[in-house]
């Protein structure tokens, strides 16, 4: 079950964290994982790890906010593989701030990466999928569904992700293209460790435990747990699912009242 043999999958932001976990899980299930990332060292390392585990992987340095760059690489991939079966729109950045203190430059940065970057990948990949169908999975967040303090710009971009997911699912269902999104709660990634170290020096363990306990289940998710849901939604076992947002949040949305 959940086999992705002979599938070509683009995973944006695949060099670390959730994206890396998805790329590795997909490769273990038979897909060729094509990793998009701006961090060349991280992307190359992930690809090398997958290959050492017996999987197929290619790294492509790509700025998803640059449409011409995405277009060029998508053409290059299809020229070599002949197909694009799966797109995981995972690349994104976070920001702390409310509507009053968020600076314009930070607001524009989040829009360019989290929203325009996702649009760029959709715009360039969908034409290739229209021939024989495909699967698109967008990375949203619980921040799209509930109010989280000091996450103004981040939350609005993730709300846009959910809206884009529904729109794409509706517009391309006739081409056998499915589109869903995942809304994780807090996930223990290098980003979280870096955020804590930067903002709470000397109190890293205390803050890690505090942030973990904001999930009713009592801990953060592991990236692999997100990857397994991504695997299901991109597999043939989920062929009847489209236009859905899947919280994977340890009860954060429904039990945090």
Cite the active site residues. Answer: 154
- The Cα–Cα gap between 15 and 12 comes to 8
Asked if residues 138 and 89 have their Cβ atoms less than 8 Å apart, the reply is yes
Phi, psi dihedral angles at 21 (to 5 degrees): -60, -40
State the DSSP H helix or E strand holding residue 24, giving kind and residue range, or none if neither. Answer: helix 17-28
- List of E strands, the chain: 8-12, 32-37, 56-61, 86-89, 134-139, 177-184, 245-248
DSSP state of 214: T
Query: Between vectors from CA 93 to CA 163 and to CA 243, what angle results, nearest 5°?
Result: 20
- The Cα–Cα gap between 182 and 230 comes to 8
């Amino acid at each position: 079950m959940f086999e992705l043999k002979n599938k070509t999958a683009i995973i944006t932001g695949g060099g670390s964290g959730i994206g890396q976990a998805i790329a590795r899980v997909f490769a273990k299930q038979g897909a060729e994982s094509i990793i998009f990332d701006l961090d060349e060292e991280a992307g190359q390392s992930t690809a090398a790890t997958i290959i050492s585990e017996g999987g197929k992987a290619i790294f492509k340095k790509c700025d998803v906010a640059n449409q011409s760059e995405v277009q060029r690489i998508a053409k290059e991939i299809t020229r070599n593989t002949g197909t694009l079966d799966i797109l995981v729109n995972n690349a994104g950045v976070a920001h702390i701030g409310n509507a009053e203190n968020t600076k314009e430059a930070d607001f524009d940065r989040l829009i360019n990466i989290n929203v325009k970057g996702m649009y760029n990948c959709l715009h360039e990949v969908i034409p290739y999928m229209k021939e024989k169908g495909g699967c698109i999975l967008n990375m949203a967040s619980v921040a799209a569904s509930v109010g989280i303090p000091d996450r103004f710009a981040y939350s609005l971009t993730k709300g846009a992700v959910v809206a884009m997911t529904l729109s794409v699912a509706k517009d391309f269902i006739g081409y056998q293209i499915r589109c869903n999104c995942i809304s994780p709660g807090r996930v223990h990634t290098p980003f979280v460790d870096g955020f804590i170290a930067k903002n709470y020096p000397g109190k890293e363990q205390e803050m890690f435990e505090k942030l973990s306990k904001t999930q009713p289940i009592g801990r953060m998710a592991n990236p692999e747990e997100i990857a397994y849901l991504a695997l299901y939604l991109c597999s043939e076992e989920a062929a009847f699912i489209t236009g859905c947002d899947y919280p994977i949040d340890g009860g954060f949305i429904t039990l945090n009242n």
